[in-house]
Amino acid sequence: MFDVRCPKFEPNTCHAGIYIHIPFCVRKCPYCNFYSITDHSLAKEFVNALKLEMAMYSGVELLFDTLYIGGGTPSVLEPAEIDGIIKKAFSLFQITSDPEITIEINPGTVTPGSLESFRQSGVNRINIGIQSFKESNLKFLGRIHSAEDGKTAVKWARNAGFENIGIDMMYGIPGETEKSWLIDLETALLLEPEHLSCYMLTYESGTRMHKEMKNGTFSPLPESLAASLFGSTGDFLEKNGYIQYETSNFARSEEKKSRHNIKYWSFIPYIGFGPSAHSFYGTRRSWNRQNVSGYIKKVESGTSPVEGKEDLTREQQIIEAVFLGLRQKRGIDIGFFNDKFNVRFEDIFSETISGLTKKGLIFIRDDRCALTGKGMVLLDSICAEFVCSEIG
Ligand code: SF4
């Protein structure tokens, strides 16, 4: 049914992924541009619609090995609702016997009981959006929880039996220094998470924080300092036993890498359900409408909530393969790339490769092209150089 070709180095990532978007948050963080609303009055109708949308895909010829419940803040739903969603997925889709089932939670929205319920529902990976252990940072980011809440959520998750806990952290916050960021990271490490995602604060257009930054309400961290924090994050976490497998993602071991997120970077199909969720299979990317009530109406009338789709041209796929490959520490699998596109990577990008190699930004080894430490900071501009290359 779909063109499913897998990078030869990681065959288990051939299985597809299910993403479920829960579009509710307690409060909107001023930097966030994910789709979510703070009015939860339609939560029940939404959960029903979500199950109806999932049923539209029953019989899909894909075998799934990940289920990722993200958002928004999935933990604002009742544990019984999360349980119902997971059960529905298992009743409709072919899922392997050892799936990775992740839920994203916000520390301000869980209790020991809710975490135990998630675990009993089969969730085996939990991703906790903590962002910082410094109260002034949490205030600036508009988070609903305290630093202590973040620590407590990790402890409760551990007590509930989670052996795969991820923490999201954020750096590049105005006023931050290398020292204060590393203290924040050290605090995170004391909780011994299996996974860490460290994102640089960015000011996405349309967000309140972007507007405030433009108005001069605050000054962003100088770019050079933010870039240096990026470098020190990798150095610090690698020194502490974490593997950096993607620009922002670190795992304590190979098994603790996010199996689901790796699909996004490896051309592996995934189907997204819920408002604003994206799907990808073969060469087609599609996305659902955002508005929760519009989404519910569409689905209840038996119509697909897909709002748009695009079929990637061969050239777009090549550029995407370069961009997604370079985001990963292991880099682009040249053999896979050549087979998939019936070209020779080193021929079509010969000038770009030679220029970037001379500058010490990329290297080719063991049939892979990857960024050097210096190159990782410049991911976007390096990708732009590949985009400008002539693809035959
Ligand atoms: S809790 Fe997460 S999804 Fe919700 S607004 Fe904040 S950052 Fe965005």
Using a 6 Å CB cutoff, which residues line ligand 1? 25, 28-29, 32, 34, 36, 71-73, 106, 129
Query: What is the C-alpha to C-alpha distance for residues 275 and 50, in angstroms, rounded to an integer?
Result: 9
Q: How far is the CA of 268 from the centre of ligand 1 (A)?
A: 26
pLDDT number for residue 2: 41
CA distance 362 to 355: 9
Q: Is residue 392's pLDDT more than 60?
A: no
Residue 11 has pLDDT above 90, yes or no: no
Number of C-beta neighbours around residue 390 at 10 A: 8
Which among 114, 116, 162, 154 has a CA at the least distance from the CA of 133?
154
Nearest atom within ligand 1 for CA of residue 28: 5
SS3 of 345-356:
HHHHCHHHHHHH
Q: Rounded to the nearest whole angstrom, what is the distance from the C-alpha of residue 29 to the centroid of ligand 1? A: 5
If you average pLDDT over every residue of the chain, what do you get? 93
| Rounded distance from Cα 266 to ligand 1 centre (Å) | 26
What are the pLDDT digits (tens) for 284-307?
Answer: 999 999 999 999 999 999 999 999
365 vs 43: CA distance, rounded Å: 50
pLDDT class of 391 with cuts at 50, 70, 90: low
Q: Which ligand 1 atom is at minimum distance from the Cα of 27?
A: 5
- Closest by CA to 310, choosing from 285, 335, 273, is 285
pLDDT tens digits along 47-58: 999 999 999 999
Look at residue 8 in the predicted model and tell me its pLDDT: 43
- Three-point CA angle 28, 265, 343, nearest 5°: 145
Q: Quick check: 13 pLDDT over 80?
A: no
How are beta strands 16-22 and 243-246 bridged, if at all? unpaired
Domains of the chain are: 11-264 (3.20.20.70), 331-388 (1.10.10.920)
Could you identify the residue written with the tokens 């579009």? 23
d(C-alpha 5, C-alpha 12), whole Å: 12
Residue 319: count of CB within 10 angstroms of its CB: 17
Lowest mean pLDDT among 9-13, 256-260, 318-322, 357-361: 9-13
**How much is the pLDDT for 14?**
78
Confidence of residue 9 (pLDDT cuts 50, 70, 90): very low
Give per-residue pLDDT as tens, 231-278. Answer: 999 999 999 999 999 999 999 999 999 999 999 988 899 999 999 999
Query: In Å, what is the CA distance from 162 to each residue of 74, 104, 122, 126?
Result: 17, 13, 10, 7
- CA 377, distance to chain mean position in Å, is 19
Query: Rounded to an integer, what distance in angstroms lies between the CA atom of residue 262 and that of residue 244?
Result: 13
Q: How far is the CA of 43 from the centre of ligand 1 (A)?
A: 17
Mutate to test the pocket of ligand 1, among 33, 106, 141 (most ligand atoms within 8 A of CB): 106
Q: Is the pLDDT of residue 309 over 90?
A: yes
Residue 212 has pLDDT above 70, yes or no: yes
- Does the structure show a pLDDT above 50 at 377? yes
Probe residue for ligand 1, chosen from 34, 75, 203 as the CB with the greatest number of ligand atoms within 8 Å: 34
Q: Tell me the C-alpha to C-alpha distance, in Å, between residue 176 and each of 102, 130, 186, 219, 225.
A: 31, 17, 15, 12, 9
Partners of residue 127 on adjacent β-strands: 104, 166
pLDDT digits (tens, 9 = 90+) for 16-31: 999 999 999 999 999 9
Each residue's pLDDT tens digit, 59-88: 899 999 999 999 999 999 999 999 999 999
Q: Is the pLDDT score of 313 beyond 60?
A: yes
340 Cβ neighbours under 8 A, 6+ residues apart? 5, 267, 317, 321
The residue to mutate among 26, 28, 169, having the most atoms of ligand 1 within 8 angstroms of its beta carbon, is 28
pLDDT tens sequence across 314-355? 999 999 999 999 999 889 999 989 998 999 999 999 999 999
Percent of the chain's residues with pLDDT above 70: 96
Amino acid 41: pLDDT: 97
Write the single-letter amino acid at 103.
I
What ligand 1 atom has the least distance to the C-alpha of 106? 1
Give the residue, by CA position, lying nearest to ligand 1 atom 2: 72
| Residue 144 CA, closest ligand 1 atom number | 1
pLDDT of residue 256: 97
Cβ-contact 7, 330 below 8 angstroms: no
Q: Separation of 63 CA from ligand 1 center, angstroms?
A: 30
Is the confidence at residue 1, as pLDDT, over 90? no
User: What is the DSSP annotation of 21-75?
Assistant: EE-B-SS--TT--S--BS--TTHHHHHHHHHHHHHTTTT-S-EEEEEEEEES-GG
